Amino acid sequence: MWVAVVGLTLIMLTRPVRSGAPLGVAVAAPLLGTAVGVVCTPLVRHAMDAYLGQGTVPRRLLIWAAAVTAATVGTVLWLVASVPSERLLTMGLWPALVPFLTAHCLIVRLRTTVLVHAGLLAALGALIPLTGKSATQTLATVATVGFAVGWVAFTARISMWVLAVMWELREARDVQARLAVAEERLRFGRDLHDVLGRNLAVIALKSELAVQLARRGRPEAVDQMVEVQRTARESQREVRDVVRGYRAADLHTELEGAQGVLTAAGITCAIGSRGDAELGLPGEVQSALAWVVREATTNVLRHGEPTRCTIALAVSDGAAVLTVENDGVQSGSRGGGGGGGLSQGSGLAGLRERLAALGGTLDAGGAAGGCFRLTATVPVPAGRSQQELQDLEGPEDREAPEELEELEGPGDLEDRDGTGQGAVAGVEESREPGSPKGAARR
């Protein structure tokens, strides 16, 4: 735009204009050329913002720019009529029109731009003969001006289109960054809920047992508080793992932990169909089902008054199915045990998000006999048959069900693996005569 403005101003200062034009016109002409640039510069800036959808063009500025451009074009035609110069007509008209038309083509639609340019060329075709030019000169001038302003309008719109694409890419990158932050916040909140939910329930249970034992003067209260301390430290480690984003739940550990926690709370817990179903499942499937076991165990402890809980895991029809069922559902309770009534809460919502990422589903609701049932179904990737899953099971793994069956009977709560994984994973319970219900030590 400023190339055209500078060119127009220099043309107005040439010798033919200074010597052949009236003094007032000779002085006003270069001033008008400079005024076109001064007025059209902010107009172009606002037009670019309007094209990108970042603002609007002030109507007053548009009117002023159009008025100055019209005055400049009129001055050029006056000079052409009074100054004997063959090049002044062509070289003075298109620089006077380019600054305004550069901004105008960005404000209106392409069809409107074509119509405005056509009307402008028609007006020039009618005005140029009034300056004494021949039809050939008029036609050549109109063609030259039409090509110049048309090419400038085309390149301006193309340049702004490229700039708009770059602008959208930047906006998309910003949106992607915000979505990544939001997704990380959701992941952190969900994992923090899942990690601390059961551990806090275990701490509350163990603390209550310690209080009861302490009131009766039983030495086992010390063991219970040691277990509370150990669980709290384990929770701290798991929270740090959640923050780092590296934590993955283990299905085998969670099943053992669930049985140990529920048994310690005086709830009969039976785990069936574990060996072939659990072993050989892909890691992401096991991790998702492990979170389901953890959340279901937490809800069994928190809601209702259950006396028994059954956890079943099976692989059939290309899908792993985990079922958690408990009794003791309180009528009208939102909790309802085992996650009952939590379809609107964050617990089952977080589980559904985990399972949905693997194409799985989660169903929770009442069952026959006043029980509550939670069923998680996760597709197993094709190519693994039941026989292949059994072949993946080693001799030591085949003995796992027998070892786990011992957890259902009486025995001391001892740390089987020494890792403390899953709060009270791998524990065995013992009750001494006269000890409170659920009193146990790890």
Residue 248 is predicted with a pLDDT of 62
Neighbours of 123 (CB within 10 A): 12
Do 348 and 403 belong to one domain? yes
Domain for residue 145, yes or no?
no
Domain for residue 21, yes or no?
yes
State the DSSP string of 181-250: HHHHHHHHHHHHHHHHHHHHHHHHHHHHHHHHHHHTT-THHHHHHHHHHHHHHHHHHHHHHHHHT-----
Among the three residues 75, 100, 133, which one is the final residue of a domain in this structure? 133
Is 114 a residue whose pLDDT tops 60? Answer: yes
More confident residue, 345 or 423: 345
Domain for residue 149, yes or no?
no
Do 183 and 122 belong to one domain? no
Sequence-distant (6+) residues with CB within 8 A of 402 are none
The 10s digit of each residue's pLDDT in 95-105 is 888 899 999 99
Do 311 and 385 belong to one domain? yes
Residue 240 is predicted with a pLDDT of 75
Q: Using 50, 70 and 90 to split pLDDT, how confident is the model at 382? A: low
Among the three residues 98, 133, 168, which one is the final residue of a domain in this structure? 133
Q: Give the range with max mean pLDDT: 75-79, 269-273, 286-290.
A: 286-290
Q: Using 50, 70 and 90 to split pLDDT, how confident is the model at 205? A: confident
More confident residue, 436 or 62: 62
Q: Using 50, 70 and 90 to split pLDDT, how confident is the model at 40? A: very high
- The secondary element (H helix, E strand) that includes residue 362 is strand 361-367
Is 256 a residue whose pLDDT tops 80? Answer: yes
Q: Can you tell me the mean pLDDT for 275-287? A: 71
Residue 337 is predicted with a pLDDT of 44
More confident residue, 222 or 316: 222
Q: Domain limits at 221? A: 179-408
Domain for residue 119, yes or no?
yes
Window from 15-24, 210-219, 270-279, 365-374 with minimum mean pLDDT: 270-279
Residue 211 belongs to domain with CATH number: 3.30.565.10
Mean pLDDT, the chain, whole residue set = 76
Do 119 and 199 belong to one domain? no
Domain for residue 141, yes or no?
no
Do 107 and 216 belong to one domain? no
Among the three residues 75, 98, 133, which one is the final residue of a domain in this structure? 133
Record the pTM.
Answer: 0.44
Helix (H, G, I), strand (E, B) or coil at 367: strand
Percent helix, strand and coil across the chain, each rounded to 5? 65, 10, 25
Helix (H, G, I), strand (E, B) or coil at 113: helix
Do 330 and 268 belong to one domain? yes
Residue 170 phi, psi dihedral angles, 5° rounding: -65, -40
Do 184 and 240 belong to one domain? yes
Do 89 and 216 belong to one domain? no
Do 113 and 216 belong to one domain? no
Domain for residue 425, yes or no?
no
Residues of 60-89 as b/e, b for ≥16 C-beta within 10 angstroms? ebbebbeebbeebbebbbbbbeebebeebb
Cβ atoms of residues 149 and 94 within 8 Å: yes
Domain for residue 111, yes or no?
yes
From the list 378, 424, 349, the residue with the least C-alpha distance to 286 is 378
Q: Using 50, 70 and 90 to split pLDDT, how confident is the model at 418? A: very low
Do 234 and 113 belong to one domain? no
The 10s digit of each residue's pLDDT in 128-139 is 888 888 888 889
Is 8 a residue whose pLDDT tops 50? Answer: yes
189, two tokens: 């909140």
Q: Can you tell me the mean pLDDT for 137-158? A: 90
Overall domain count for the chain: 2
Do 209 and 290 belong to one domain? yes
Do 214 and 296 belong to one domain? yes
Q: Please report, for residues 81, 133, 304, the alpha-carbon distance to residue 90 in angstroms, rounded to integers and kept in the order given.
A: 13, 12, 92
Q: Please report, for residues 253, 302, 334, 437, the alpha-carbon distance to residue 338 in angstroms, rounded to integers and kept in the order given.
A: 19, 8, 11, 21
Domain for residue 291, yes or no?
yes
Window from 130-139, 225-234, 383-392, 399-408 with minimum mean pLDDT: 399-408
